[in-house]
Amino acid sequence: MDLLKPLIALLAIVNPVGVVPFFIHFTQSFSPKERRRTIRISAFSAFLVVAISAVAGLRVIEFFGISLASFQVGGGTLLLISSLAMLNAQPPETQPSDVTDADAKIDAGSSIAVVPLTIPLLTGPATISTMVIYAQKTQHVWEQGVLVAYGLVIGVVTFVVFSAAGRIAKVLGRTGINVMTRLMGLILAAMAVELLADGLMKLFPVLALHHTALKP
């Protein structure tokens, strides 16, 4: 197995730079401490998803009795919900302003760091399926270890890229962020529809037949 190909594929699929606008949107009302915590959780979660996918793969999903297609539909639904809020330039969750609600703000930041930032924006069905494909090609334990190490690389890259998001936000300003949020919300909605359509056609093959018949 060419051990460099999995890393190149992962970097292209995860693409932390492309997720920066979403990170700015979801954390725009966070304090620096909350934002740093969100970055750490996102980076660690991305590492976990890649590592677990390399070691266990589809067995984890099958343990819960769901298919990769169902995972795609669920991820697409989460993306669509997030995109609707972004099209209105609204934060994904109401951020409490009372100091006594500090724990609630921390919980909200942790939740956003995992869903939707890590799953499915950074690491979704494409990442899991890619790791499963390459894990099946491994012949030695050390090769699986290399795939797990690539998960660590993805986590470090995510941490570095997200840490620079604050400087990007300062350059854009509030108006720039709102404009970018609406544009990315539209793109996110399109991504959600693609995920939903692909997952639904896998779950219901008859839809794929109708889709093919409607093509010019």
Torsion of CA 206, 216, 184, 44, to 10 degrees: 40
Taking only the tens place, the pLDDT of each residue in 26-79 is 888 888 899 999 999 999 999 999 999 988 876 777 788 877 788 778 878 877
The encoded tokens of residue 92 equal 């994904």
Question: Which pLDDT value is given to residue 99?
Answer: 38
* Average predicted confidence (pLDDT) for the chain: 80
Nearest of 191, 206, 45, 38 to residue 126 by alpha carbon: 191
Does the pLDDT of residue 114 top 60, yes or no? yes
Q: Which residues contact 35 (CB under 8 A, 6 or more apart)?
A: 27, 109, 166
Tell if the pTM clears 0.95, that is, is over it: no
Average pLDDT on 186-191 reads 83
Question: Which pLDDT value is given to residue 140?
Answer: 85
Nearest of 54, 37, 181 to residue 102 by alpha carbon: 37
Question: Which pLDDT value is given to residue 156?
Answer: 96
